[in-house]
Amino acid sequence: MHLLALPEDEQEIVRHLCAKEGLQLLLSDLVEEGVPRVADDPLAALVPDLPSGKRLKAAVVSGAGGTDPARHQVWEYLFWARSLGPIRTLGDAPVARDAVDRVAFQLNREATERWPDLIDLSRTPVIGVRRTSWHHSEDCLIAGALTTTRVAVRDLPRDVASLHSRVERHLKRHSQRLDPFETCQAYRGPRLDPSRARGWWTWAMPQAQSWLAAGGQAFAVDFIV
């Protein structure tokens, strides 16, 4: 689900996930002494600005250090479905079953010395909201997405799949379905018909709809100009 949501829309999404679905907003992908950090006040923990590919690109090109704020933008909110299962970490992960899992495990080990404390998103019941972001060069928004536990659809636990489907239905009821090829003049690539090409419809939340109506541009996925 390609989801276009401004910070004001994110407030409504998070209110529903936490108050209605009973999910907990994770503040870190690391556990502290085995305990996950969750937000006591999830609405107050949200970031007021959308992440920007342009800012990140500028920081990388300029050689800005790891402390540069552009390198620490919030690109996704993760919500733990505590009632569906505990937090699992890489430290207690079973042996990787295939090459893809082995590579992912090794990359996480190399990313931080605290890799055993990293939350294993392939075994922890989560719902994710990948945030709408600014394009890396154009004044155009790139839609985010609703995500879940990082496994193949066929391997997703039934209760987690049910939760994901329920949240998706709620978001669609409160959004407007849009053709992304009609909402972004900056995109000059091949045009597809979303009614025939699966996975291209974009769903815009109310504030995002207003932004588009005022002349804003948005596309379903990132693109190269």
Domain contains 141: yes
Q: Tell whether 26 is covered by a domain.
A: yes
Distances 67 to 62, 70, 152 between C-alpha atoms, Å: 13, 8, 34
Kindly state whether residue 175 falls inside one of the protein's structural domains. yes
Asked, for residue 137, whether it belongs to a domain, the answer is yes
- pLDDT (0 to 100) of residue 105: 67
Are the C-beta atoms of residues 140 and 186 closer than 8 Å to each other?
A: yes
Looking at residue 224, what is its pLDDT?
83
Predicted confidence at residue 1, as pLDDT, reads: 92
Task: Give the domain range for residue 141.
Answer: 2-87+124-219
pLDDT of residue 130: 98
Q: Which two tokens stand for residue 137?
A: 């060069």
Tell whether pTM > 0.85. yes
Question: Does residue 208 sit within a domain?
Answer: yes
Distance CA 55, CA 71 (A): 8
What pLDDT, on a 0 to 100 scale, did the predictor assign at position 78? 98
How many angstroms from the chain centroid is the CA of residue 60? 22
Number of domain units in the chain: 1
What stretches in the chain show pLDDT beneath 70? 96, 100, 102, 105, 107, 109-110
Residue 128 lies in a domain: yes
- Please check whether residue 194 lies inside any domain of the structure: yes
Of 114, 146, 115, 149, the C-alpha closest to 132 is 146
| ∠ Cα 73 172 130 (to 5°) | 15
In a domain, 92, yes or no: no
- 22 Cβ neighbours under 8 A, 6+ residues apart: 81, 82, 83
Orientation of helix 206-213 relative to helix 7-15, angle to 10°: 160
